[in-house]
Amino acid sequence: MPKREKDCWAGQLVDMVETVKLLSRPQGATIAEIVANTSVERRTVYRIFKALERIGLPVHETAAGFMERQKRYQLDEGSVLKTPNLATLTFDEALSLYALRGNLGVYQGTMIEESVDAAFRKLGLILPPGFRRMMERYATLFIPTAKAAKDYSGVQETIDDLSFAMLNGKVCTVTYHSFYDDRDKTFTIHPLHFFERDGGLYLLCIVARFSSIRTLAVERIRSLDIAEQEFDYPEGFDPHELLDSAFNIIFDEPFDARIRFSPGQARYIKERRWAKDQEFIDEVDGSVVLVMRTSGRDEVKRWVLSFGSAAEVLEPAELRAEVKQEFEAAARRYD
């Protein structure tokens, strides 16, 4: 592992986390194992031990294995945090929770964020002060961005009611504002899952009158009534497979597409996963053809248009014609 600069506190924190993971193992760790699995020098390991002791996680020497010559070290029992219900939380599990806390995304400003903050206030009561300060710094390693994110601060009650309905399998009646025809519609749904896309929170549900899976934007739900009637979760339904099948949030009939990207965009395109079923074909001029099977043709069209002249739809012919018409209309607008 490459050595990090001494003044990089984030790198030092990562080394400390890795050290704690090694010390938390049933067999503990030797100094040599810590050096081999982190970026620190041997003498730095002892500094980490002292730092852990300062934040309430003392390290002690433990029995070495049979035929082992090197000393082994473990964290004291203080590395396992005891909660009132006797559940346990390890150091690295707490770190993971704090990292997630810093990435609430679309839940910022909602009751979910308030509940998370309340949970962490309670967690803070059982953490050593030094440990808690380190966790707060760890949460800032990953900075979320709110650019183009929707504001959900006014729909806390809707999110809370939907969560209750999903957990208890309750049928709901919603009044929903349709984006495409700009009017409100009322219908019955079986709410299944929330999912996030591009700063927006969406609901996967079954619309009763269609008996099919639909996607609703949570902020467009104008009203929600929870009925006493219950529904059964659809047998064999895999939400992950459904989400993987769509280019974004539209789950319509799958289609095959072939799109050529210019040499200047080829590396960017090849670095990412655009569809579950995809492959790249390299051209002699440095361009690349993306071959994929997906759904949501209108979403694919908008995506292709965002590349301007750097992208060319080869198939299907209907999508190629639609993209051509969009560019011709745009050209006329600029005349």
Give pLDDT tens digits for 189-204.
999 998 888 778 889 9
Closest CA to 161 of 149, 174, 178: 174
Burial 18-28 (b: 16+ CB within 10 A, else e): bbbbbbbeeeb
| CA gyration radius, the chain | 26
**Of residues 39 and 330, more confidently modeled:** 330
Residue 2: the pLDDT is 43
The candidate with the shortest Cα–Cα distance to 30, out of 67, 66, 61, is 61
Is the pLDDT confidence value at 294 over 60?
yes
For the stretch 170-182, pLDDT in tens is: 999 999 998 878 8
Q: Confirm or reject CATH 2.30.30.520 for domain 156-237, answering yes or no.
A: yes
Q: How is domain 1-144 classified at the CATH fold level?
A: Arc Repressor Mutant, subunit A (1.10.10)
Fold (CATH) for 255-334: Alpha-Beta Plaits (3.30.70)
Write down the H helix ranges in 108-192.
111-124, 129-139, 156-168
Q: How confident is the model at residue 82 (pLDDT cuts 50, 70, 90)?
A: very low
Separation of alpha carbons 188 and 210, rounded Å: 10
Q: Cα 212 to the chain's mean position, in Å?
A: 26
The β-bridge relationship of strands 255-261 and 221-230 is unpaired
Question: Which sequence spans correspond to the domains of the chain?
Answer: 1-144, 156-237, 255-334
Per-residue pLDDT, averaged over 146-160, amounts to 73
Q: How far, CA to CA in Å, does 72 sit from each of 12, 39, 45, 93, 192?
A: 22, 19, 13, 23, 49
